[in-house]
Structure 1
Amino acid sequence: MIYDDTWLWIVILGFIAAFVLAFGLGANDVANSFGTSVGAKVITVRQACILGTIFEMAGAILVGAKVSNTIRKGIISPEMFTNGTEDTFLAGNLSALTGSCIWLIVATFMKLPVSGTHSIVGATLGFSMVINGFKGIGWTKLAMIGASWFVSPLMSGLVSIGLFKLIDIMVLTKEKPLEPGLRLLPLFYAFTLAVNLFSVFYKGSELLHFNEIPFYGTMILTFGGAFLTAILVRIFVVPRQRKKINIMCKQLLEEEGMLPEKKDDIKELTDIIDQEVMVIAENQNNKISEINDTEKDERADDALLEIKKNLSEKDEKKGMGDADDDRPEVAGLFKFLQVLTAIFGSFAHGGNDVSNAIGPLVALWITATTGSSAQKAPVPIWVLVYGGVGISIGLWVWGRRVMKTMGEDLTKITPSSGFCIEVGSALTVLVASNIGIPISTTHCKVGSVVCVGRVRSKGSVDWKLFRNIILAWVVTLPVSGGLSALSMYGFCAILNATTS
Structure 2
Amino acid sequence: MAKSPHDTQWKTLDKDLNRISQVEYATAHVARPLVAPGVALAFMVVAGLAAAVFFGQTPMNFIVVVAAVFGAYMALNIGANDVANNMAPAVGANALTMGGAIAIAAVCESAGALLAGGDVVSTISKGIIDPAGVSEQATFIWAMMAALLSAALWINLATWVGAPVSTTHSVVGGVMGAGIAAAGLAAVNWPTMGAIAASWVISPVLGGVIAAAFLAFIKTYIIYRDDKIAAARRWVPVLVAIMAGAFAAYLALKGLKRIVHIDISVALLIGAAAGLVTWATTRPLIRRQSEGMENRNKSLKTLFSLPLILSAALLSFAHGANDVANAVGPLAAIVHAAQVGMASAKVAIPFWVMVIGAFGISFGLFLFGPKLIRMVGSQITKLNPMRAYCVALSAAITVIVASWLGLPVSSTHIAVGAVFGVGFFREWYAERRRRNGAGNGNKSKRIAPEERRRRKLVRRSHFMTIVAAWVITVPAAALLSGGIFLLMNMIVL
TM-score, normalised by the number of residues in structure 2: 0.80
State the match for 2:109 in structure 1.
56
> Could you say which structure has the greater relative contact order, defined with CA pairs below 8 angstroms and 6 or more residues apart?
1
Secondary structure, counterpart of 2:120 in structure 1: helix
Are residue 135 (structure 1) and residue 186 (structure 2) matched?
yes
Aligned with 2:93 (options 23, 40, 44): 40
Q: Distance in 2 between matches of 1:33 and 1:359?
A: 22
Are residue 121 (structure 1) and residue 172 (structure 2) matched?
yes
Amino acid in structure 1 at the alignment position of 2:372:
V
User: How far has the Cα of 1:188 moved from its partner?
Assistant: 1.5
User: How far has the Cα of 1:185 moved from its partner?
Assistant: 2.2
- Worse overlay, 156-165 or 456-465: 456-465
Cα distance per residue 1:377-397 (max 9 Å; x no partner) = 433343222201100000000
Aligned with 2:259 (options 190, 206, 209): 209
Work out whether residues 342 and 422 of structure 1, in 8 Å CA contact, stay in contact via their aligned partners in 2.
yes
Amino acid in structure 1 at the alignment position of 2:104:
L
Aligned with 2:78 (options 25, 31, 50): 25
Are residue 444 (structure 1) and residue 414 (structure 2) matched?
yes
Aligned with 2:287 (options 233, 236, 239): 239
Q: Distance in 2 between matches of 1:228 and 1:480?
A: 46
1:77-476 maps to which residues of 2 (within 5 A)?
Answer: 77-82=130-135, 85-202=136-253, 204=255, 208-210=258-260, 212-235=261-284, 237-243=285-291, 246=292, 249=294, 327-458=297-428, 459-476=456-473
Return 5+ residue gaps in structure 1 as ranges: 251-325
Cα distance per residue 1:424-445 (max 9 Å; x no partner) = 1221111101211111111111
Amino acid in structure 2 at the alignment position of 1:360:
P
Q: Runs in 1 of length 4+ with deviation above 6 angstroms?
A: none
Amino acid in structure 2 at the alignment position of 1:63:
A
Work out whether residues 34 and 342 of structure 1, in 8 Å CA contact, stay in contact via their aligned partners in 2.
yes
Work out whether residues 157 and 447 of structure 1, in 8 Å CA contact, stay in contact via their aligned partners in 2.
yes
User: How far has the Cα of 1:216 moved from its partner?
Assistant: 5.0
Q: Distance in 2 between matches of 1:226 and 1:378?
A: 34
Q: Distance in 2 between matches of 1:411 and 1:51?
A: 24
Q: Distance in 2 between matches of 1:489 and 1:214?
A: 44
Q: Distance in 1 between matches of 2:324 and 2:55?
A: 24
Work out whether residues 133 and 186 of structure 2, in 8 Å CA contact, stay in contact via their aligned partners in 1.
no
Amino acid in structure 2 at the alignment position of 1:164:
L
Work out whether residues 256 and 262 of structure 2, in 8 Å CA contact, stay in contact via their aligned partners in 1.
no
Secondary structure, counterpart of 1:450 in structure 2: helix
Q: Distance in 2 between matches of 1:415 and 1:349?
A: 21
Q: Distance in 1 between matches of 2:353 and 2:345?
A: 15
Work out whether residues 3 and 370 of structure 1, in 8 Å CA contact, stay in contact via their aligned partners in 2.
no
Cα distance per residue 1:303-328 (max 9 Å; x no partner) = xxxxxxxxxxxxxxxxxxxxxxx821
Amino acid in structure 1 at the alignment position of 2:287:
P
State the match for 2:36 in structure 1.
none
Q: Distance in 2 between matches of 1:482 and 1:405?
A: 28
| Cα distance change on mapping 1:494 and 1:3 into 2, 3 Å | farther
| Cα distance change on mapping 1:153 and 1:214 into 2, 3 Å | closer
Give the length in aligned residue pairs: 413
Percent of pairs with identical residues: 31
Work out whether residues 10 and 91 of structure 1, in 8 Å CA contact, stay in contact via their aligned partners in 2.
no
State the match for 2:17 in structure 1.
none
- Worse overlay, 376-385 or 87-96: 376-385
- Worse overlay, 448-457 or 165-174: 448-457
Work out whether residues 318 and 400 of structure 2, in 8 Å CA contact, stay in contact via their aligned partners in 1.
yes
Work out whether residues 450 and 461 of structure 1, in 8 Å CA contact, stay in contact via their aligned partners in 2.
yes
Work out whether residues 133 and 183 of structure 2, in 8 Å CA contact, stay in contact via their aligned partners in 1.
no
User: How far has the Cα of 1:490 moved from its partner?
Assistant: 2.1
Secondary structure, counterpart of 2:60 in structure 1: helix
Return 5+ residue gaps in structure 2 as ranges: 1-53, 429-455
| Cα distance change on mapping 1:457 and 1:330 into 2, 3 Å | farther
User: How far has the Cα of 1:90 moved from its partner?
Assistant: 0.8
Q: Distance in 2 between matches of 1:2 and 1:30?
A: 29
Cα distance per residue 1:154-194 (max 9 Å; x no partner) = 11111111111111110011122112112112211211011
Q: Distance in 2 between matches of 1:188 and 1:431?
A: 18
Work out whether residues 63 and 433 of structure 1, in 8 Å CA contact, stay in contact via their aligned partners in 2.
no
| Cα distance change on mapping 1:217 and 1:361 into 2, 3 Å | same
Cα distance per residue 1:251-300 (max 9 Å; x no partner) = xxxxxxxxxxxxxxxxxxxxxxxxxxxxxxxxxxxxxxxxxxxxxxxxxx
User: How far has the Cα of 1:224 moved from its partner?
Assistant: 1.8
- Worse overlay, 123-132 or 374-383: 374-383
Work out whether residues 40 and 414 of structure 1, in 8 Å CA contact, stay in contact via their aligned partners in 2.
yes
Work out whether residues 84 and 365 of structure 2, in 8 Å CA contact, stay in contact via their aligned partners in 1.
no
State the match for 2:65 in structure 1.
12
Amino acid in structure 1 at the alignment position of 2:492:
L
Work out whether residues 2 and 368 of structure 1, in 8 Å CA contact, stay in contact via their aligned partners in 2.
no
Secondary structure, counterpart of 1:394 in structure 2: helix
TM-score, normalised by the number of residues in structure 1: 0.79
| Cα distance change on mapping 1:205 and 1:489 into 2, 3 Å | farther
Cα distance per residue 1:204-244 (max 9 Å; x no partner) = 455x424x235554334322222212111123x2233213x
Work out whether residues 344 and 423 of structure 1, in 8 Å CA contact, stay in contact via their aligned partners in 2.
no
Larger radius of gyration: 1
Work out whether residues 36 and 407 of structure 1, in 8 Å CA contact, stay in contact via their aligned partners in 2.
yes
